[in-house]
Amino acid sequence: MKYFVIAGEASGDLHGSNLVKQLKEKDPDAKIMAWGGDRMIQQGADVRKHIRELAFMGFVEVLLNLRTIMKNFRLCKSQVAAFKPDAVILIDYPGFNLRMAKWAHKNNLKVIYYISPQVWAWKKSRVKTIRRTVNEMFTILPFEKEFYANHGMNVRYEGHPLIDAIENFKNIPENSRLEDNGKPILALLPGSRKQELKKMLPRMLEASDAFSETHRIVMSAVSLLPKEIYNTGGRNIEIVTDQTYTLLSKAQCAFVTSGTATLETALFRVPLVVCYKANAISYMIAKKLVGKNIQFISLVNLIAGKEVCRELIQRDLNKENMVHEMKKLIPPCDERNQMLSEYDLLYAKLGGPGASSRVAEGIVKICQH
> pLDDT tens-digit profile of 231-266?
999 999 999 999 999 999 999 999 999 888 999 999
Specify the pLDDT at position 243. 93
Specify the pLDDT at position 68. 80
Distance CA 68, CA 255 (A): 33
**Looking at the whole model, is its pTM more than 0.85?**
no
Please state whether beta strands 238-241 and 272-276 pair in parallel, antiparallel, or not at all (unpaired): unpaired
pLDDT at 290 over 60: no
Please state whether beta strands 156-157 and 136-139 pair in parallel, antiparallel, or not at all (unpaired): parallel
Q: Of residues 297 and 345, which shows the higher confidence score?
A: 345
Q: Say which residues have a Cβ less than 8 Å from residue 288's Cβ, sequence separation at least 6.
A: none
Give all domains of the chain, ordered by start, each with its CATH number.
2-159+354-368 (3.40.50.2000), 174-349 (3.40.50.2000)
Nearest in space to 98 (alpha carbons), one of 118, 126, 121: 126
Distance CA 21, CA 360 (A): 9
Give the mean pLDDT of 217-232: 92
Of 21-30, 51-60, 156-165, 255-264, the range with the lowest mean pLDDT is 51-60
**What percent of the chain is predicted at pLDDT more than 90?**
64
Distance CA 45, CA 62 (A): 27
Specify the pLDDT at position 195. 79
3-state secondary structure of 336: helix
Distance CA 171, CA 194 (A): 31
Count of other CB atoms within 10 angstroms of residue 110: 19
Count of other CB atoms within 10 angstroms of residue 108: 6
Is residue 83 very low, low, confident or very high in pLDDT (cuts 50, 70, 90)? Answer: very high
CB 352 within 8 A of CB 142: no
User: String of b and e for 73-97 (b: at least 16 CB within 10 Å)?
Assistant: eeebeebbeebebbbbbbbbbbebb
Specify the pLDDT at position 180. 79
The DSSP element (H or E) to which 157 belongs, if any, is: strand 156-157
Distance CA 330, CA 252 (A): 8
Nearest in space to 89 (alpha carbons), one of 31, 170, 172, 164: 31
Specify the pLDDT at position 289. 47
Helix axes 10-26, 260-267, angle to 10 degrees: 70
Give the mean pLDDT of 156-168: 91
Q: Say which residues have a Cβ less than 8 Å from residue 230's Cβ, sequence separation at least 6.
A: 201, 219, 221, 239
pLDDT at 175 over 80: no
Q: How far is CA 312 from CA 10, 79, 274, 296, in A?
A: 23, 42, 6, 11
What is the number of alpha carbons within 13 Å of residue 270 lying toward its C-beta?
A: 28
The radius of gyration computed from the CA coordinates of the chain, to the nearest angstrom, equals 20
Q: How far is CA 311 from CA 126, 257, 274, 314, in A?
A: 27, 10, 5, 10
CB 173 within 8 A of CB 233: no
What is the number of alpha carbons within 13 Å of residue 312 lying toward its C-beta?
A: 23
Of 47-61, 104-118, 232-246, the range with the lowest mean pLDDT is 47-61
Specify the pLDDT at position 90. 97
